[in-house]
Structure 1
Amino acid sequence: MPTLRHTKSEENLGGYDNNTASAFSMCGMLCDDNDPDWSKEDDEISQQYTQLKKPIDRDTISQMSQESSDSREPPMWISALDIRKRLSDSFQENKNKQFTHDPEDPSAAVLKEPWQEKEQRVRESSPYGHLSTWKLLSVIVKCGDDLRQELMASQLLQMFQKIWQMEHVPLWVHPYKILCLSNDSGLIEPILNTISLHQEYGPMNSEAFLSAQKNFVQSCAAYCLICYLIQVKDRHNGNILLKSDGHLIHIDFGFILSTSPKNLGFETSPFKLTSEFVEIMGGDYSDMFEYFKILILQGLIAARKHQDMIIPLVEIMRSGSQLPCFKSGAATVQNLKSRFHMNMTEEQLQLEVNKMVEGSMHSLSTKLYDGFQYFTNGIL
């Protein structure tokens, strides 16, 4: 690290403020712990920074950073040697706590360390962890895809969520945040503490299992209804997550309304409802399965009551849009309206829901599509 040693000169240090000094001292953690001279020199540099006077000409960003720091937290100086030692100790500790491989459920390894514990661990090793404004964020950086359609889907999920809350329908969805940076890049909020669909929650009569089962049914019914109304496709198991508390979460809304993978329209069922889903509910003759169908019916009645919160949003997005989901033009919105079944009575709507559930359970296209995904991903 010869460059850092050169900056020991007073004239090279004059243009930095105290915040820069703290950040600069972090660079010492990259050096070799076996080099005592380097550690000593690093601390001398840090000491020189703390004695510097605030420069008169500072750029606006630096000044804002300093004022923000002064107003919220008292200054706190940490030597580079202390930072290095803290990170080294944390690294050694984590090496001794490696997550174990579970042959029965390899995908569940992601839940061995909950996000809250990970956040606390990183904060303890951060030289800025003492600040009240410190926060650890997790994002997925995506390039090459237009996320505006994904953003619209997230907004629709928020609308459905609001409608069901207004009508006191216990359906559960998890809209995740999306930030579009350009027409082919953006940031996506990942779903934390999620696992594959085959994670277990203990004996079927245990409180933990029953709670997770209820969460599963309420969220599965919500996403089934959403998948039907806005025609979400490409529903392979890689796009369906299971939260640690049992809630089901759908991700990746790249194919909605009038689009499907390769525009083949292969997935013909109203929504994805596999035998495994039904088994988690207790089977197609169980009380929870009946509860599942009742929730879809209640959710659809509430949604069509407030369809004016959904239709205009899609119409606005369609106006002048080149998004793939609007390739059918005005027919896209018209087809969406028809799926609310405004001309049906509630009794007729109940029969329609039962028909959709039965059709989805026994859908050949769903089984073939899942088999294709298993094969292409090397599972079979």
Structure 2
Amino acid sequence: MDFSYCLTKDVNRPVTIKISTLEGSLHQDVLTLEQDIEHPDYYVTVQLFGDNKPLTVATRTCYKAFKNHWSWNEWLTLPIKYSDLPSSAQLAITIWGILGPRKLVPIGGTTLRLFGKHSTLRKGKHKLHVWANKEADGRTMTTTPSKVDVTNDMDKLEKLVKRYDCGNIQPVEWLDKLAFRKIEQIHKEYKVVDLIRTNDDPPQTNTAIANAMNQSIHTTDPRQRYSSSSASSSTAHPAAIKTQSHHHYNSVILDPELLRDNPVEAKHRRLVRSHRNGPLDRDLKPNPKIRDELNTIVAYPPTQTLTAEEKDLVWKFRFYLTRDKRALTKFLKCVVWIDPTEVRQAVDLLPMWADIDVDDALELLGKEFENRSVRSYAVNQLRKADDDDLLLYLLQLVQALKFEHFNEKDANSYESSLVQFLIDRATQNPILGNYFHWYLMVECEDKVVGKMYAKVAYHYFKAILEVPHGHQRRDTLRQQGQLIQTLSRLAKEIRDLKETRSKKVEKLRAIISDPKGSLFSIPSLPLPLDPTKLVSGVLAEKSNVFNSSLQPLRLTFTCDDGSEYPIIFKSGDDLRQDQLVIQIITLMDKLLRKENLDLKLTPYKVLATGPEHGLMQFIPSKPLAAVLDEHQNNVLSYFRQHHPDDSPEGIYGINSSVMENYIRSCAGYCVITYLLGVGDRHLDNLLLSPQGHLFHVDFGFILGRDPKPFPPPMKLCKEMIEAMGGADSPHYSKFRQFCYTAFTTLRRNANLILNLFALMVDANIPDIKIEPDKAVIKVQEKFRLDLTEEAAIAYFQGLISESVNALFPQIMETVHKWAQYWRK
């Protein structure tokens, strides 16, 4: 459970409370007074005290005539702010009766301390005991306390209801309805007791203003108040207020019997699901209404939690649903996996089901599904994927090994179909095996699951030796490891030099060109970043040091085919988040191409070789900020410099293919960076190639995180639009159309992307690790799966307009520009 806190000194809002109802029957003395008047009028006054002194004048409820039931339901605002409250603050609440002109009689009073245990401000509904015929005194040692020690069954039930409202008791829908109905009956029985009494009578727990005070603390939205009629009002407010001198941390103590089988629920489930006559369900066919309900359930996103009624409905028509491949994951979520009968029926049903797609198979490999038969079924579906597709999901499949439950103590055996599948495919395909090896190596350094991954790596090396040229492949992987260690030491040595950047570049080139050095001549081996390239050396004259805090190295490898392969080696930086984003961009590019939509994306390669170092492919390009500086804020001038075309086929004096690349790539990255919530977008991490390809780099902030306030939904500045000919040009209209098509296409593949993120929740990705339980939800919200396709397009139109017209990002861009200038 998440909690947020603030100090009362930081809450600059007036204290507000809600007076709800007075319940119970009147004492005999009051009844005698009532005989003199047909319908006496009551009102309530509230006054704040502190250290036995009044802090405010009394605030009273409005005039209201009553007959049989005393109910105000009125908010009162006291003339004092939360920031001015002392820790001894108390509310003196008095009910007054009007028996005639200038004739007031205290019906009863009660005193409530505003701060409870650990000096936290009280919130939610409160049942306050009323002391008959007394005015609330508000003193520290009060004679009209709101709480008494005597308790009865109703008090105990009310405390349990409050715990339920706060989410500390797990809801059970069908049982809750019965329980609350019974509680209401008990409550009515207690109301017939004589509640208000003389001072000499012993106080009882049912002497009360039921729901009399409903405290509202609101930090942002004044409408966020607790409703006295709402069962969940105690949890409506997002912040718990603390005093200035104390710190309080809430914790939830879980019920040790929470996961035990409830015999009542188990019997109910067996009756509803007809365990004894399950075979009769084979011939069940839904009527049109139920069929629509089933289709709605099947269309739910992976994060949707099914209600008990929906689960029973899916189970009832499970045989009918076997023809729908999308329904399998929903059906398996309905199974009670501690019930052997249901588990047996579910497993027997798997071979009968229509073959599922890859996205559903990935969902079945998540932490939610532990059954070995289910996970084996998912792996069997993955066997149909070719190596190119498997490479797109390999990063997540390696992470899914964390949810496999095989014996880690026995190093000579394992019982995991996923491990066996990945090892088999990795040994058959060296390129796949190269990435599988490095994904394992990174996880081997994890303190929690490192031993498990080391065991998998051990079995992988054993399997390699059994294939042709296996010893050579094993030696190649070891040589790659030595190369990475050499580059890591070199990067640290260059970064630690107390010299200028130019001196560091000279030192770097001297080390590389040293004939005795390990980088002068490399035995031909596949580059870990791109194993399709065999490299044999590093060009010293084309090596450099970037001018940034971590000073990464730019190295150019020579390839056996005569080509060059420039890379960036980063040390002291975790590239796993960049690696994930680039993998998702690569996947999205393939999904779009399947729909014949090529957006000219540039998914450069990224490989984390350890938690603090890795390789990145270098694409010759310039930051958009540098392009605008050199060409007087005119991107078209930059394109004309490299690809001029004054013929009729040219566009604005440049080659038409360059303009097409620019429009398509702008649209693609606008949609993708919006969906992934990429933050910290400024013109220095938007790169532009001479061929017109625009692409993003540096994905240190994703899932909506951004170091700058008020970030726009996507990075789309006026200079980018002017390069298309302006907002009224046909090229800008074409750009918008590409955005809409890409957005709707990726929405149709949302389940695959969401399942990939779900498998990464324990992958130590920085921005996922902050709130792992919300990571998938954040991505899902971007897709707006609740909208129709037409509404989604209209929604994205609004996002584009909002991004173009956002003023604050322009200000922050200017600030960033000056910061870069002074840093240089």
Query: What band does the TM-score fall into relative to the shorter chain?
Result: 0.5 to 0.7
Contact 2:639–2:658 (CA<8 Å) still a contact in 1? no
Partner of residue 220, structure 1: 666
Tell me how far 1:134 sits from its aligned partner.
4.2
Is 1:188 aligned with 2:631?
no
After the TM superposition, which parts of structure 1 deviate over 6 Å for at least 4 consecutive aligned residues?
none
Output the CA distance in 2 between the equivalents of 1:165 and 1:185: 32
Tell me how far 1:249 sits from its aligned partner.
1.1
**Matched residue type, 2:711:** T
Is 1:234 aligned with 2:662?
no
Output the CA distance in 2 between the equivalents of 1:317 and 1:139: 26
Output the CA distance in 1 between the equivalents of 2:685 and 2:813: 12
Question: Larger % of strand: which?
Answer: 2
Tell me how far 1:206 sits from its aligned partner.
5.3
Output the CA distance in 2 between the equivalents of 1:217 and 1:379: 33
Structure 1 residues 241 and 366, CA gap change in structure 2 (3 angstroms): same
Q: Deviations over 1:159-218 (max 9, x none)?
A: 110110011123221111112121111111111244644323246745634332221110
Output the CA distance in 2 between the equivalents of 1:193 and 1:348: 37
Structure 2 residue corresponding to 1:364, chosen from 792, 795, 807: 807
RMSD: 2.7
Structure 1 residue corresponding to 2:568, chosen from 132, 140, 145: 140
Contact 1:159–1:309 (CA<8 Å) still a contact in 2? no
SS of match in other structure, 2:783: coil
**Matched residue type, 1:167:** E
Output the CA distance in 2 between the equivalents of 1:323 and 1:258: 13
Q: How does 1:49-88 map to 2 (within 5 A)?
A: none
Tell me how far 1:282 sits from its aligned partner.
1.0
SS of match in other structure, 1:378: helix
Partner of residue 200, structure 1: 639
- Scaled by the length of structure 1, the TM-score of the pair is 0.62
Contact 1:258–1:332 (CA<8 Å) still a contact in 2? no
Tell me how far 1:137 sits from its aligned partner.
2.1
Partner of residue 370, structure 2: none
Structure 1 residues 136 and 267, CA gap change in structure 2 (3 angstroms): farther
Partner of residue 275, structure 1: 718
SS of match in other structure, 2:794: helix
Structure 2 unmatched runs, 5+: 1-522, 525-538, 542-555, 628-634
**Percent same amino acid among aligned pairs?**
28
Structure 2 residue corresponding to 1:171, chosen from 595, 599, 602: 599
Indicate the structure (1 or 2) with the bigger Cα radius of gyration: 2
Structure 1 residues 168 and 181, CA gap change in structure 2 (3 angstroms): same
Output the CA distance in 1 between the equivalents of 2:696 and 2:606: 15
Contact 1:170–1:295 (CA<8 Å) still a contact in 2? no
Tell me how far 1:333 sits from its aligned partner.
1.0
Output the CA distance in 2 between the equivalents of 1:338 and 1:216: 28
Partner of residue 738, structure 2: 295
SS of match in other structure, 1:140: strand
Output the CA distance in 2 between the equivalents of 1:268 and 1:223: 16
Contact 2:716–2:804 (CA<8 Å) still a contact in 1? yes
Structure 1 residues 158 and 322, CA gap change in structure 2 (3 angstroms): closer
Q: Deviations over 1:128-182 (max 9, x none)?
A: x9xx544422111111211000100010101110110011123221111112121
SS of match in other structure, 1:187: strand
Q: Deviations over 1:336-371 (max 9, x none)?
A: 112111222222122112101110001123202211
Output the CA distance in 2 between the equivalents of 1:345 and 1:258: 24
Output the CA distance in 2 between the equivalents of 1:225 and 1:315: 21
**Matched residue type, 2:569:** V
**Matched residue type, 1:245:** Q
Contact 2:674–2:713 (CA<8 Å) still a contact in 1? yes
Contact 1:195–1:244 (CA<8 Å) still a contact in 2? no
Structure 1 unmatched runs, 5+: 1-63, 66-86, 92-118, 124-128
Partner of residue 259, structure 1: 705
**Matched residue type, 2:818:** F
Deviates more, 1:299-308 or 1:318-327: 318-327
Output the CA distance in 2 between the equivalents of 1:170 and 1:137: 25
Output the CA distance in 1 between the equivalents of 2:651 and 2:575: 43
Tell me how far 1:258 sits from its aligned partner.
4.1
Structure 1 residues 274 and 258, CA gap change in structure 2 (3 angstroms): closer
**Matched residue type, 1:290:** S
Deviates more, 1:195-204 or 1:164-173: 195-204
Contact 1:258–1:326 (CA<8 Å) still a contact in 2? no
Is 1:153 aligned with 2:581?
yes
Tell me how far 1:244 sits from its aligned partner.
1.2
Output the CA distance in 2 between the equivalents of 1:195 and 1:181: 26
Structure 1 residues 135 and 286, CA gap change in structure 2 (3 angstroms): closer
Question: Larger % of helix: which?
Answer: 1
Output the CA distance in 2 between the equivalents of 1:308 and 1:152: 17
Deviates more, 1:238-247 or 1:339-348: 339-348
Partner of residue 788, structure 2: 345
Partner of residue 249, structure 1: 695
Q: Deviations over 1:203-259 (max 9, x none)?
A: 674563433222111000100001110011111111011111111011111111143
Output the CA distance in 2 between the equivalents of 1:230 and 1:243: 23
SS of match in other structure, 1:141: strand
SS of match in other structure, 1:139: strand
Structure 1 residues 257 and 195, CA gap change in structure 2 (3 angstroms): closer
How many aligned residue pairs are there? Answer: 255
Partner of residue 330, structure 2: none
Partner of residue 54, structure 1: none
Tell me how far 1:322 sits from its aligned partner.
5.2
Tell me how far 1:379 sits from its aligned partner.
7.7
Structure 1 residues 379 and 347, CA gap change in structure 2 (3 angstroms): farther
Output the CA distance in 2 between the equivalents of 1:273 and 1:315: 29
Output the CA distance in 2 between the equivalents of 1:233 and 1:258: 6
Structure 1 residues 361 and 379, CA gap change in structure 2 (3 angstroms): farther
Output the CA distance in 2 between the equivalents of 1:282 and 1:376: 30
Contact 2:572–2:613 (CA<8 Å) still a contact in 1? yes
Output the CA distance in 1 between the equivalents of 2:782 and 2:747: 9
SS of match in other structure, 2:654: helix
Q: Deviations over 1:308-353 (max 9, x none)?
A: 2211111111135352344122222112112111222222122112
Contact 2:665–2:694 (CA<8 Å) still a contact in 1? yes
Output the CA distance in 2 between the equivalents of 1:145 and 1:371: 27
**Matched residue type, 1:285:** D
- Scaled by the length of structure 2, the TM-score of the pair is 0.29
Contact 1:233–1:260 (CA<8 Å) still a contact in 2? yes
Q: Which has the higher contact order (CA 8 A, sep 6+)?
A: 1
Structure 2 residue corresponding to 1:315, chosen from 758, 769, 789: 758
